[in-house]
Structure 1
Amino acid sequence: MTALGFDLFWSFRSPYSYLATPRLVNLVRDFDVACNVRIVYPIAVRQADFFANADPLWVFYLMKDTYRTAEFLGLPYRWPNPDPVLMDPATRTYPRAQPHIHRLSHLGVAAAERGRGLAFIAEVSALIWDGCTDNWHEGDHLAQAAARAGCDLAELDAAIAADPVHHVDVVETNQSDQRKGGHYGVPLMVLDGEPFFGQDRIDQLIWRLEQKGVMRR
């Protein structure tokens, strides 16, 4: 029986979340630890003017660093087409109507509630971010990714349609707990109240797990 687990606060629009996920899959595979996936909306949805007010160097560095990190990790990577979050290019702000990110986020909640959260975010983030699939939202791309994760996309969609308020509430609770955990960004791993923010903190998370006596499987 797994004795210890950590919360993973994670967003479908975060390239760093995508880049971290294969290592988190390996962590759970290799160690006797559970990963509790907790989906949050991206900062662009929570704060629509975030990028409009950000220093241009923030975005410049983000793009350079994510491509470099992907190359370093040996992961395929390209900015998604379409972007999971729609932006008004004239104002660099994000409209309230978002056809992709809300559905993705609520699908992630539903998958996590069925015990398939980590598998689901691994498969769907690869579909969105690895550059192999344009128009990832069309056809059966999402259904196939969900199936690889052990989920039925139609069943997940039906559950969300039957109780949309529940799935919104879960995301909002996750966002509140994320801040209580010690940070507002993703990916954020929280182990026994200790936050590990960023894809470059996974080694420290493993180090702390081993300090706590977590054994390899």
Structure 2
Amino acid sequence: MPTLDIYWSFRSPYSYLAIDRLVSIRDEFAIDVHFRPVRPLAMREPDFFERGRKQFLPYLFRDAPREAARLGIPFSLPNPDPINMDMESGKVAPEQPLLNRVMDLTIAAEHFGKSLDFAQALSRRIWSGEDWSSEKALNDIAASVALDIAALDAWITENSDEIQSTIARNEANQLEYHWGVPLMVLDGEPFFGQDRLDSLIWRLKEIDAKRQ
């Protein structure tokens, strides 16, 4: 069975724009999907926005809503931002409680076979502009995909080292192919960006991976 690794970030608007189609791909094709969340680029490369080109963010803020409108996907900026960062200076705070929380929960959800579904539900909420970070909101989001937040938290408490090693492994493996997200790797063949999902689907059809 073909294997599809998905490298994905909660702060990436393009990851959000891809998530519904990634779920559809999982459901439509007979493939072994591994969802591999990574931290945002601003945390993986803390000086990225400080040294980056000035056109990067203005273009991003124009392009992502435009793509959302083209795809018919609701889009609002997160409130709060999943990471603590000074947008003017590009400096990233050393402590990241919100991002750590969602990464812990998502990796725990993988233990219960629900990480892609949890990421879909949570990213929809994050990019709706509505409250997503309160414990009540996270509990509701988990429940919407048949996950129990108490069970997730119990697993997190017992597996903190495994969580950190999983994140490190995901990020190291991602860099074998590309630094950006969403990144889909089908049996070693990388497809970078939500605008390459059609290419991924074409390849899956070419290898006759559609469910019978």
TM over 0.5: yes
Q: Across the two proteins, how many residue pairs are aligned to each other?
A: 212
Q: Distance in 2 between matches of 1:122 and 1:195?
A: 21
Q: Distance in 2 between matches of 1:57 and 1:22?
A: 28
Q: Does 1:211 align with 2:206?
A: yes
Q: Distance in 1 between matches of 2:99 and 2:154?
A: 17
The residue aligned with 1:170 is: 166
CA spacing shift, 1:215–1:91, aligned 2, 3 Å: closer
The residue aligned with 1:106 is: 104
* 1:35 Cα deviation after fit: 2.2
In structure 1, list runs of 5 or more residues that go unmatched.
none
CA spacing shift, 1:199–1:95, aligned 2, 3 Å: same
Please state whether the residue corresponding to 1:160 is helix, strand or coil.
helix
* 1:189 Cα deviation after fit: 0.3
Superposed CA deviations along residues 69-113 of structure 1, whole A, max 9, x for unmatched, are 100111111110000011135632101100111111121111112
Q: Distance in 2 between matches of 1:20 and 1:6?
A: 14
The residue aligned with 1:52 is: 50
Q: Distance in 2 between matches of 1:179 and 1:198?
A: 14
The residue aligned with 1:200 is: 195
Please state whether the residue corresponding to 1:166 is helix, strand or coil.
helix
Contact 1:11–1:105 under 8 Å retained in 2? no
The residue aligned with 1:191 is: 186
* 1:139 Cα deviation after fit: 4.5
Q: Distance in 2 between matches of 1:9 and 1:85?
A: 18
Q: For structure 1, which segment, 87-96 or 201-210, has the greater mean C-alpha deviation from structure 2 after superposition?
A: 87-96
The residue aligned with 1:73 is: 71
Return the TM-score normalized by structure 1: 0.93
CA spacing shift, 1:213–1:89, aligned 2, 3 Å: closer
- One of 127, 137, 140 as aligned partner of 2:136: 140
1:183 maps to amino acid: H
* 1:32 Cα deviation after fit: 2.0
Q: Distance in 1 between matches of 2:87 and 2:30?
A: 46
Contact 1:48–1:95 under 8 Å retained in 2? no
Q: Distance in 1 between matches of 2:159 and 2:5?
A: 24
Superposed CA deviations along residues 38-85 of structure 1, whole A, max 9, x for unmatched, are 011111111222112111101111111100010011111111000001
The residue aligned with 1:122 is: 120
1:142 maps to amino acid: L
Contact 1:8–1:187 under 8 Å retained in 2? yes
Q: Distance in 2 between matches of 1:88 and 1:130?
A: 22
2:172 maps to amino acid: S
Superposed CA deviations along residues 166-216 of structure 1, whole A, max 9, x for unmatched, are 101101000111112x11111000001010000001110011111111124
Q: Percent identity?
A: 42
Superposed CA deviations along residues 136-162 of structure 1, whole A, max 9, x for unmatched, are 111411111111122111211221122
* 1:33 Cα deviation after fit: 2.3
Return the TM-score normalized by structure 2: 0.95
- One of 141, 155, 159 as aligned partner of 1:159: 155
1:154 maps to amino acid: A
